[in-house]
């Protein structure tokens, strides 16, 4: 335990960020890869506004407190069956057997 009450876990060996970003354009990232990106967020630009119609395979990091409506990017997001709200999934990111992050994503 650290003095801030959070926990640390043993992370896998460092991944090659350039290779990881290239692969992210063509496949879903694995939990350990997402964790690596988030642990090294300083190496990335944190977007303060939504890009306009980003290309498929684009990767963006947002601070939801700064950019609340990140989905307003010009694309038509999938709707739930009610036709009104955007379809979202909630996930727990685990690395090994440890919950590292609780998040959601939009389709």
Pairing of strands 88-95, 98-106: antiparallel
Using CA atoms, how far apart are residues 78 and 80, in angstroms rounded to an integer? 7
Q: Any idea what DSSP says for residue 79?
A: B
| Residue 105 pLDDT > 80 | no
* pTM confidence score: 0.61
Structure tokens given for 35 = 């964790």
| Residue 8 pLDDT > 60 | no
Write out pLDDT tens, residues 40-85. Answer: 888 888 888 888 888 888 888 888 788 877 778 888 777 788 877 7
Using CA atoms, how far apart are residues 7 and 104, in angstroms rounded to an integer? 22
Q: Any idea what DSSP says for residue 54?
A: P
Using CA atoms, how far apart are residues 17 and 15, in angstroms rounded to an integer? 6
């Amino acid at each position: 335990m650290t003095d801030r009450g959070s926990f640390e876990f043993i992370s896998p060996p460092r991944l090659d960020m350039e290779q990881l970003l290239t692969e992210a354009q063509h496949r879903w990232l694995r939990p350990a890869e997402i964790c690596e990106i988030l642990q090294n967020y300083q190496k990335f630009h944190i977007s303060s506004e939504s890009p306009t119609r980003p290309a498929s395979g684009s990767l963006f990091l947002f601070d939801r407190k700064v950019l609340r409506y990140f989905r307003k990017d010009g694309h038509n997001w999938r709707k739930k069956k009610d036709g009104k709200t955007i379809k979202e999934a909630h996930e727990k990111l685990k690395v090994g057997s440890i919950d590292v992050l609780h998040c959601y994503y939009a389709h």
